Structure formats: C-alpha cells, structure tokens
Amino acid sequence: MRYISTRGAAPELPFDDTMLTGLARDGGLYVPAAIPQLTSAEIAALGGLSYEDLALRVMTPFIGDSFGESELTDLIARAYSGFDHVARAPLVQLDTNHFLLELFHGPTLAFKDFAMQLIGQLFQAVLARRGERVTIVGATSGDTGSAAIEAFRGLDNVDVFILFPHGRVSEVQRRQMTTPAEANVHALAVDGDFDDCQGALKAMFNDFAFRDEVRLAGVNSINWARVLAQVVYYFSSALSLGAPHRPVSFTVPTGNFGDIFAGHVARCMGLPIDRLVAATNQNDILHRCLSGQGYHKGQVVPSISPSMDIQVSSNFERALFDAYGRDGKAVAQLMEELSLGGFDVSQGALEYLREQFDSGRASEQETLATIRRVREESGELLCPHSAVGVKVAEELRDPDVPMITLATAHPAKFPDAVEQASGIRPPLPAHMQDLFERPERVTRIGNDLGALKAHIREHVQR
C-alpha cells in the first residue's frame, strides 16, 4: 500500500513512513493511493469478531508489510487493554432506530483514545526498530492533546509538545494535559484559538530546517494512522446492527473532519452506509460549505462544545481531494485561497460532497436542551459534543434506517455545561478522582511561531 499527498507534489510513502512523516512535504495530507475494497461476503464474515480482531482485519490492507501480522495483533491488544468496556465501543439505544456509539471508554474519556493508544504502540515499535527518536507537536482544542500525552508520556525516544488555546478548553481537559509529571511532556497554553495552534503546527512542518532539526512528528488527524484507526468502529457498530445486509447511517459531531472522514473511508471500502451526517456547533463553516455557501473563514466563537470550536477543518482537504477527482494541483490552489480567507467550491465538487455528506448545526440552546431531554427520556447523559450530534441526527434521520450517533466524549470532561443543562454534575471515573489535587505544569506562550519554535528547540531532549 502506497500513500500519496492531497497536493500531488510529495514523495509516495509506505504506511510506516507515512505515519512518522505526518504532514506531507508539499503541505498536503497523505491518503491511500487506492482504498482497499471488501466484498459483501467479506464484510459479513467480520460479524462477531472481538474489537481487536476486527481492527486487525480492517486495518491490515492499509498497513501492507509495514508490520507483520503477529506484531500487529500484539500491538492492537496492548492498545485497547486499558479501555474500561469489554466491547471497547458499545452501542446503546436512545430511541426506535436511533443508537449512540459510546467512544469514551478509553483512558482519557474521548474517541481520540481509539487512534492515539494504537499510534502510541505503532510509533514505539517503529522507533525501536529504527533506533530513532521524534519530537511530537500536537495542536488541540482539548481532547487530542490529553490523548496524545497519555499515549506517549514517559517514553525515552519521544518528546511531546501540546499547543492548546489558553482559556478555551474545559478545566478537566486542561488538567489532563498539565498534570502529567513526566519530563517528556510539555503543555503550552497559547494566546489564540485552536486554528492558531493548528496553523502554527502546519507552519512548523513546512519549515524544513526546523522539521528536520527536531525530527518533527505529528499525531493530529493530519496523520493518516489516526484516521485509519477510527475506521474500525464504523465497522463494529454497523455489523452489530446487521451490516452488510442492512444499511445504517451515522451522525458525527464534527470539527476537524477526521472522524467523519474515517466513516467515508469505511463506506469507500464497501460498508453500506446510507447517510454520513456532519453535525457542527455554532462554528458551522462545514455546514455552510455543504449547504453551498463556499468555504469562508470567520472568527472562532467559543462554545460549550469547545473541542469543535474550529474554522479551518484540516481533513476537509482529504474530502476535497476526492471531490476534485484527486487533482492535487486543484487542491493546492484551494488551500492557497483558504490562506487568504476562503474559496468557493465548484459545482461538480459540491455535488460530490453532497452525495457523500449531509450536515446540520446545533445552537448553544439546542445543545443544552438536548442534554436535558435525552437524560429525561433515555437516562443517557450526553457530553455537549455528543448532544450536538444527537440534535442534528434527530432532525435529519430517516426513521426506517438505523441512525448511529457518535458519542465522542464522556460527560465528565465538561461538567459545567452538563450541570447547566441537566442539574447533574457527572463524577470523574476512579482513575481521575484526584485530578483537581494534582499539581499543574504549563507554559503560557504568545501566538508567535518564532517563540513556539524557540521553546521547542530549547526543551527538546537530544
């Protein structure tokens, strides 16, 4: 399996190099040169497997010979051993034909653990094999950062620097990032929003001298391995509800477009998915774009679902690559226009995108009302991101097709919003009970690329 860049001007790579490289050297994102296909009979044969066995079967065609089967089996087993639910991604029923896919049973209580716990294992295996070390820099609106720190804390051959927007993550999220004591963990509170953090990260990748000097690696969904690991739970949940004999739909709380893009990949592999719905909060650039209004940046507005407070949605580039017939030059041109404020999508590309993705948005009041109502009606306590998903799913779903809404985080990560909506303050699980007593270690830093690079150079362990 070879990987190519969405901007068409970077070297093709195998899976392991793609994973270590992160952003392609032409500024694009890596995607498989061709998506592996499964027949209906092959999908049916995946029914009843454990999550780990399913992960092996779904991911192997993308990984090629970068890892042997027994090594990969072992790494997958280690990745998911810290989850607190034997099904890893259990489904619960909310209503007739409406299901919630609980993706928050990993160590940091968000869907990011599915990919990050695995990537932690894959990185360690490749770095040990090659005798290399890397500097991971990540941008986060709250959940990627804590998941990355959890996956890489204490490793000898990795430093991890996490850029998060100061004052714009929940207190639980912040403490998850600032309380680990390991010397290789560096939490940086940036005076800016998530787009500033992600912009700085991409600029670091595009500065080849810096990139090569610190041996920069990325674990945001820039990294194809992140998207790949997330494809698995689309299969596990659809199989539970009768795939491939019965199509299902998904609604995905969306910000950086990585999670829903994983659903798109599952569908391209042959999983019968009827609708893939992107649900946004008031930062609704994706919903506006899919509604035909072009992709034009505005200000990021803080919300009660802070992990989705994003305007420049990184993985949308992967969808645009497909929408523009895999024309890297066309995508590079669009990204150039985006750096100046935005772009209009051509008619043909828009038709493709609208065939693949539906969309909707939830306001702050609608999100709060959904948390309250779902709690009363079903007993399920939603985090605000999952509530955005449920609200949009209820609006758009076809009653005859099972709808699966992704519950992307545990409500205890956002206790203020959940309490405001429901009157219930969700307790942290046992392993995080003392989170508020642990000492914090964080560097406040300006939204300044030079200062960020200087800080990383100074603190990286050589």
Exposure string of 376-398, with b = 16+ CB inside 10 Å and e = fewer, is eebebbbbbbbbbbbbbbbebbe
Per-position x/- string for 85-124, each x denoting binding to ligand LJ64HWYM as judged by CB under 6 A, each - no binding: ----------------------------------------
Residues 6+ apart with CB under 8 A from 38: 269, 270, 271
Determine contact, residues 130/106, Cβ cutoff 8 Å: no
Kind of pairing, strands 248-253 and 403-407? parallel
Can you tell me which of 66, 135, 220, 359 binds ligand LJ64HWYM, judged by CB under 6 A? 220
Site for ligand PLP in 383-402 (CB under 6 A): 385
49, with CB counted inside 10 A (0-12, 13-18, 19+), is middle
- Residue 143 contacts ligand PLP per CB under 6 A: yes
Q: Helix (H, G, I), strand (E, B), or coil: what is residue 102?
A: strand
Q: How far is the CB of 256 from ligand PLP (least distance, A)?
A: 3
- Residue 253 contacts ligand PLP per CB under 6 A: yes
Residues 6+ apart with CB under 8 A from 50: none
Task: Return the one option of ligand PLP, ligand LJ64HWYM, none that residue 124 interacts with (CB less than 5 to 8 A, by type).
Answer: none
- Residue 230 contacts ligand LJ64HWYM per CB under 6 A: no
Q: Which stretch binds ligand LJ64HWYM (CB under 6 A): 137-145, 153-161, 237-245, 279-287?
A: 137-145
Site for ligand LJ64HWYM in 309-328 (CB under 6 A): 314
* Dist. CA 382–CA 371, nearest whole Å: 6
Quickly list DSSP for 161-217: EEEEETT-S-HHHHHHHH----TTEEEEEESS-HHHHHHHHHHHHH-HHHHHHHTEE
Token digits of residue 450:
């030079």
Using the minimum distance from each CB to ligand PLP, give the nearer residue, 158 or 308: 308
Site for ligand PLP in 107-136 (CB under 6 A): 110
- Residue 258 contacts ligand LJ64HWYM per CB under 6 A: yes
Can you tell me which of 178, 179, 251, 254 binds ligand PLP, judged by CB under 6 A? 254
Q: How far is the CB of 177 from ligand LJ64HWYM (least distance, A)?
A: 10
Can you tell me which of 259, 322, 358, 394 binds ligand PLP, judged by CB under 6 A? 259
Cis ω for the linkage preceding 244 (within 30 of 0):
yes
Tokens 């030059």: give the residue. Answer: 329
- Residue 384 contacts ligand LJ64HWYM per CB under 6 A: no
Size, binding site for ligand PLP by CB under 6 A = 15
In 263-390, which ranges are E strands?
Answer: 273-280, 295-296, 342-343, 358-361
* Dist. CA 78–CA 206, nearest whole Å: 33
Using the minimum distance from each CB to ligand PLP, give the nearer residue, 180 or 411: 411
Catalytic residue, from 112, 202, 391, 453: name it.
112
- 112 annotated active-site: yes
- Residue 256 contacts ligand LJ64HWYM per CB under 6 A: yes
Q: What are the residues binding ligand LJ64HWYM (CB under 6 A)?
A: 140-145, 220-221, 255-256, 258, 307, 314
Active site residues: 112
